[in-house]
Chain A
Amino acid sequence: MTTEPISLLQQTFTEFGVIMVGLIAVSACALFYFRHVRMERPPVGTFNGRDIGVLLVFISTLPFLYAVLPDWLITCLLVLTFTSSLFIGYKPVVGATRAWLGIGLLIGLNIWTSHHLMGSTAGWQLWWGELSILVGLGAIAVANLYVQGGMKLQYVAWFALALAVYDIIFATILPLTDKLVAGYLAHPLDPLLGMRFGIDNYGVGLGDLLIYALFLTATYKAYGAHAARLAFGLIVVVGGVVTAFVPFLLNFFDTELDLLVPSQAFFGPAAFLFYLWMKHRYGRERTMGEYRASTDSAALTTTPAQPAPAPEPASV
């Protein structure tokens, strides 16, 4: 997030508005998607604790990749990531042909605007608007891929806690994130959702949006609508209000601007404690099978797999 010292309060409220629009839209749409669209999943495999480890290793090495790899290669990797996640997520919704067309249009437009429309505020706003759609759709798809793939709320909570540590390390001890966000801004497929007002850019990261969407859908799957409403409140308060107003508070003590707020440093511990409370309050999480069988599930059903003969224990 890059800001200028115009009016700190005005900036704070603008940032608050951008964050709220982003997290509410992405979290709510992720939950809507979860309730109404059933993604295809591989015949075998469910998200487990070791997968969280794999994700964390990947995320931890990402800043270094950004620093080391040339821009064109980063863009290629981002194109691959966005294309695969969007295709997996939206093929069940609009069909393969429309999904390919939509993905091509969104990514192509983003790359074109990144190179041709950055000379004016309107150009920036078009770029931000289009990028926000792309990033929001990506977060919704990936959150559903994980939760519908069996990622439990327990794993989401641990993931958020681990990301809190990650955010603190990379915002303070190894302050790479700030430099990367500022350095990569305006590049194609920049993983941010945001908007430009005047000469200031306001945004929220794809990773943060993904955590909020994961937390809301996983809570709904695990414990139902009431628990999801509580989780949504936590996301709004900690992910929105606290994240937006922390720069405002910090600027009372020093006048440093251009703050990047490590959102997960606040949300991670809160989400983890909230998970522990829900576990204590509601008990064991529902499995995906139990969720599908419950009245909470409004998802369209797909044809179950038909098993075929295969080797079995020899009899005689």
Chain B
Amino acid sequence: MFETGVRQFRMAMSMVWGRRIDTRNIGRLVDDVLATLAEFGEPGADAQELLGGPLADPKAQQEFATRGLRRTARRLATASPFYARRLAAADVDLAKLDLAGLRAIPVTTKQDLVERPGDFLCTDVAAYLTTRTTGTTGRPAEIWLSRYEMELWPALGALGSVLREDLRPSDIMQVNVSSQATAAVHLTAASCRLARTGCRLLGVMAPDSALDSLAESGATLLFTYPSYLAELVTSARRRGMGPDDFKLRCVNLGGEVLSPSLDQAARQTLGVPQIEDSFSMTEVIPVTGRTCSQSHLHIDLNSGHTELIDLETGEPAAPGALGTVVITPYFPYRDCMPVFRYDTRDVARRLPDGPLSCEASGIPAISQILGKADSLLRLGPADVITPRQLIDAIEALPTSPWPARYRATAHGGRIQLTLPAAAITDYGEAAARRHFAEAGLDVDLTIVSDDQATSLRHTRSDLREATFNTQHALVGA
């Protein structure tokens, strides 16, 4: 108990002063949390502050953000060749940088990262491991990570997860994310190690094999993409599997849009009581967000600063308006290849001004991610259709066409929607049009053969990984 207090104090001081955090100290704190849960069955009072930080007061949040941004900008001005140039060109006084003055610094785009990756590497840190974006929305970006980052992030993740009991020593987590997502795979495995949770890293394998593994291993946690979950649910239904075949208590999803229909189907078919739809992105790790029960996205305040900027003007989005999510991970949470004001191109809607009433009301929120900015359909000056609207409507079709495969374009103020034939089999085009109209979507339907389905819209479940049992016969073998 005494030494736990010292550890918490050391960690708090590192966070307050913005110094690199002792990762072994956090690892020992994870052990302390596990010992606490083993003894008491729950964390003690004020666990909320330990998890979310004592930042319920908006003024305190602004001061914290200002300090974090100044600290991060000062370091980047000396250690990052890209940002040394960018900050000098913006001609801002970094000692006086504040949230309003931040807008003088242009956003960083994925194109910047792809074209000049070496310029983003900080000169005072040794690169250790590289991870790439999956490239489902364009050319992949490559991010270098330091040893410190690879130790810090799982430690912080494990600390939060064991406190919330998202990870327990009695759990087994099955991980069905792409092996190319090096950081996600490594961090998940390391978090499980710290939390003493069993971890099965399987990759994006054949859904039937993943289902067999889920059922046979008694996995209690599943970490995957919504599109892959869709394939699992579809396969399970085809095989007649139901809740009694699984022991899942939570499914953690990220990286894609999760529709209410798929969420509900997964709960029913897999018997999973909790589905966590979280936000994270390779370029801005370790900043992550969680979706609350009122479908707000709450992005963590402690590890980075989040802005929602208007797609046209670059100014803060007005209440109710769409904007692109711009994130700055703070030093010392990101130190090898950091980004500053990174434009994720993930679109969300700013919530109306006023206090929130959800369970995470102390943390500012935006709407759930509605899709990529480049995928918005503009039917008129004020009429914008988001990918989430389309995916929600398509996946709500009675034919259960999961994951949604479609192509959508705007033409003459209407949506030209292309679907594979299986999406409306035994349902009909007329009924499908009515279905979309009820969802507020005025569509012209085009139906193509099912073998073109994958090419209509790529999903992460397409990053299929073969085994000797599932791959095609090797020529000459």
| Chain A residues engaging chain B, CB cutoff 8 angstroms | 40-48, 50-51, 54, 149-150, 287-289, 292-293, 302, 304-316
| Chain B positions 1-28 with a Cβ under 8 Å from a chain A Cβ | 1-5, 8
Closest to A54 in B: B2
Which of these, B46, B153, B363, contacts A305 with CB under 8 Å? B46
| Chain B positions 150-195 with a Cβ under 8 Å from a chain A Cβ | 153-154, 156-157, 159-161, 163-166, 177, 181, 183-184, 187-188, 191
Q: A45-B1, A307-B51 are in contact. Are A313 and B43 (CB under 8 A)?
A: no
Give chain B residues whose Cβ lies under 8 Å from the Cβ of A316: 133-134, 177, 181, 184, 225, 254-255, 280-282, 460
Give chain B residues whose Cβ lies under 8 Å from the Cβ of A40: 44-45
Which of these, B1, B159, B191, B359, contacts A306 with CB under 8 Å? B359
Q: A44-B32, A45-B4, A46-B36 are in contact. Are A314 and B300 (CB under 8 A)?
A: no
Complex contact A311–B160 (CB within 8 A): yes
Complex contact A313–B191 (CB within 8 A): yes
A267 to B50, alpha carbons, bound, how many Å?
41
Which of these, B187, B286, B362, B460, contacts A308 with CB under 8 Å? B362
Closest to A309 in B: B290
Query: What are some 28 contacts across the A-B interface (CB < 8 A)?
Result: A41-B40, A41-B45, A42-B45, A43-B47, A44-B36, A45-B5, A46-B39, A47-B1, A54-B3, A149-B1, A150-B36, A150-B39, A289-B40, A292-B41, A305-B43, A309-B292, A309-B300, A309-B360, A310-B52, A310-B156, A310-B164, A312-B157, A312-B278, A315-B223, A315-B253, A315-B280, A316-B177, A316-B184
Tell me how far the C-beta of A52 lies from the nearest C-beta in chain B, rounded to whole angstroms. Answer: 10
Instruction: Say yes or no: is B347 at the interface (Cβ < 8 Å to chain A).
Output: no
Instruction: Say yes or no: is B424 at the interface (Cβ < 8 Å to chain A).
Output: no
Give chain A residues whose Cβ lies under 8 Å from the Cβ of B225: 316
Complex contact A51–B40 (CB within 8 A): no
Complex contact B282–A51 (CB within 8 A): no
Give chain A residues whose Cβ lies under 8 Å from the Cβ of B4: 42, 44-46
Closest to B254 in A: A315
Complex contact A309–B363 (CB within 8 A): yes
Closest to A306 in B: B48
Closest to A146 in B: B1
A306 to B363, alpha carbons, bound, how many Å?
14
Instruction: Say yes or no: is B252 at the interface (Cβ < 8 Å to chain A).
Output: yes
How many residues in B have their beta carbons less than 8 Å from beta carbons of A?
A: 72
Q: A44-B50, A288-B40, A315-B278 are in contact. Are A310 and B300 (CB under 8 A)?
A: yes
Complex contact A287–B40 (CB within 8 A): yes
Tell me how far the C-beta of B396 lies from the nearest C-beta in chain A, rounded to whole angstroms. Answer: 24
Chain A interface secondary structure, helix, strand, loop or mixed?
loop
Give chain B residues whose Cβ lies under 8 Å from the Cβ of A306: 47-48, 359
Which of these, A42, A46, A314, contacts B282 with CB under 8 Å? A314
Give chain A residues whose Cβ lies under 8 Å from the Cβ of B8: 42, 44
Which of these, B32, B51, B280, B360, contacts A314 with CB under 8 Å? B280
Give chain B residues whose Cβ lies under 8 Å from the Cβ of A310: 51-52, 156, 159-160, 163-164, 300, 302
Instruction: Say yes or no: is B285 at the interface (Cβ < 8 Å to chain A).
Output: yes
Complex contact B166–A305 (CB within 8 A): no
Complex contact B280–A288 (CB within 8 A): no
A316 to B288, alpha carbons, bound, how many Å?
11
A278 to B472, alpha carbons, bound, how many Å?
65
Complex contact B44–A44 (CB within 8 A): yes
Closest to A303 in B: B45
Complex contact B285–A314 (CB within 8 A): yes
A149 to B292, alpha carbons, bound, how many Å?
32
Tell me how far the C-beta of B143 lies from the nearest C-beta in chain A, rounded to whole angstroms. Answer: 11
Complex contact A305–B1 (CB within 8 A): no
Q: Please name the 6 residue pairs, one residue from A and one from B, whose CB atoms are nearest each other, closest first.
A: A289-B41, A315-B254, A310-B160, A316-B255, A45-B4, A308-B52
Interface 1/0s, chain B 286-322, versus A by CB < 8 A? 1111101000001010110000000000000000000
Complex contact B40–A309 (CB within 8 A): no
Which of these, A288, A304, A311, contacts B157 with CB under 8 Å? A311
A44 to B8, alpha carbons, bound, how many Å?
9
Closest to B44 in A: A41
Complex contact A305–B44 (CB within 8 A): yes
Tell me how far the C-beta of A50 lies from the nearest C-beta in chain B, rounded to whole angstroms. Answer: 6
Which of these, A45, A149, A289, A312, contacts B288 with CB under 8 Å? A312
Complex contact B157–A313 (CB within 8 A): yes
Instruction: Say yes or no: is B115 at the interface (Cβ < 8 Å to chain A).
Output: no
Give chain B residues whose Cβ lies under 8 Å from the Cβ of A289: 38-42
A314 to B255, alpha carbons, bound, how many Å?
10
Tell me how far the C-beta of B11 lies from the nearest C-beta in chain A, rounded to whole angstroms. Answer: 11
Give chain B residues whose Cβ lies under 8 Å from the Cβ of A305: 42-48
Tell me how far the C-beta of A222 lies from the nearest C-beta in chain B, rounded to whole angstroms. Answer: 12
Closest to A150 in B: B39
Which of these, A51, A288, A304, A312, contacts B1 with CB under 8 Å? A51
Give chain B residues whose Cβ lies under 8 Å from the Cβ of A288: 39-41
